[in-house]
């Protein structure tokens, strides 16, 4: 019986541009597969889930403002930060060690055609994962991502996606053991400081969190929303 397959790629200390290029390769392969399908083709496909601990980098979404970068661009390199303007939704955010940046490359038509439902599903996956650590997460109206705190004013997970022919790329950034001081050089997600702040799982529970355990829990939650046979530790595919 044919079924959806989900390949897991683990890329630690990964260069941002290299992983972005990798996402594009996987997305275009899925799109070519869709174009070659007939009307009566089976609604199943091969999908990908990329887990990265990026080198320190700031990324600015297509709807974001450069004014939310608080360090001059010419000083970024000397501060050992990269900077990229990218094609996801959302404003500016940070990726780096201690954070799982997770990129689902999905053909959503194998599940549904609703981008808002997709983003809400990503939020729910993270909320369910956080609950395993005694952290109460929630969505916030008018903002994407997952928030914690009595007033839901601390952001623990940022979400920004891009879709082409219902194939997704980019995704979410979950602060596990992140260096939160690295957010001081930006206005995260363009939300004025004082109104909202950022946090991490380790900050909330006051202890380090096992990154591999979080990865495994995320995969378990993810396939409950997007059923597929998991193919663990798929090699980093060559650029072709």
Please tell me which residue in 52, 110, 157, 189 is annotated as part of the active site: 189
SS (H, E, C) 61-90: CCCCCHHHECCCHHHHCCCCCEEEECCCCC
Would you say 34 and 76 are in contact if contact means Cβ atoms under 8 Å apart?
no
Would you say 56 and 80 are in contact if contact means Cβ atoms under 8 Å apart?
yes
Residue matched to tokens 């549904």? 112
**Listed residue (93, 87, 84, 118) closest to 104, CA to CA:** 118
Taking the C-alpha atoms of residue 94 and residue 188, their distance in angstroms, rounded to an integer, is 8
Would you say 174 and 213 are in contact if contact means Cβ atoms under 8 Å apart?
no
The answer to whether 52 is a known catalytic residue is no
Taking the C-alpha atoms of residue 131 and residue 225, their distance in angstroms, rounded to an integer, is 17
Residue matched to tokens 């993810």? 222
Residues in the chain: 240
Q: Which two tokens stand for residue 155?
A: 């952001």
**Listed residue (41, 92, 87, 93) closest to 62, CA to CA:** 87
**Catalytic sites, residue numbers:** 189
């Amino acid at each position: 019986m044919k079924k959806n397959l989900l390949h897991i790629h683990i890329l630690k200390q990964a260069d941002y541009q290299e992983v972005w290029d990798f996402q594009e390769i996987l997305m275009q392969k899925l799109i070519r597969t869709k174009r070659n399908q007939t009307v009566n083709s089976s609604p199943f496909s091969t999908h990908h889930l990329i887990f990265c601990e990026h080198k320190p980098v700031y990324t600015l979404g297509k709807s974001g403002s450069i004014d939310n970068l608080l360090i001059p661009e010419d000083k970024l390199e000397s501060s050992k930060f990269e900077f990229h303007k990218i094609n996801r939704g959302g404003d500016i955010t940070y990726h780096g060690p201690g954070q799982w940046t997770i990129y689902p490359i999905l053909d959503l038509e194998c599940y549904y055609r609703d981008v808002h439902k997709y983003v809400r599903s990503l939020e729910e996956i993270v909320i369910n994962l956080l609950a395993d650590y005694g952290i109460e997460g929630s969505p916030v109206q008018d903002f994407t991502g997952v928030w914690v705190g009595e007033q839901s004013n601390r952001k623990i997970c940022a979400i920004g996606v891009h879709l082409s022919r219902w194939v997704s790329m980019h995704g979410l950034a979950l602060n596990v053991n992140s260096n939160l001081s690295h957010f001081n050089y930006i206005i995260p997600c363009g939300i004025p400081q004082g109104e909202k702040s950022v946090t991490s799982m380790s900050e909330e529970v006051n202890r380090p969190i096992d990154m591999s355990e979080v990865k495994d829990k995320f995969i378990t939650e993810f396939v409950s929303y997007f059923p597929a046979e998991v193919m663990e530790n798929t090699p980093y595919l060559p650029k072709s």
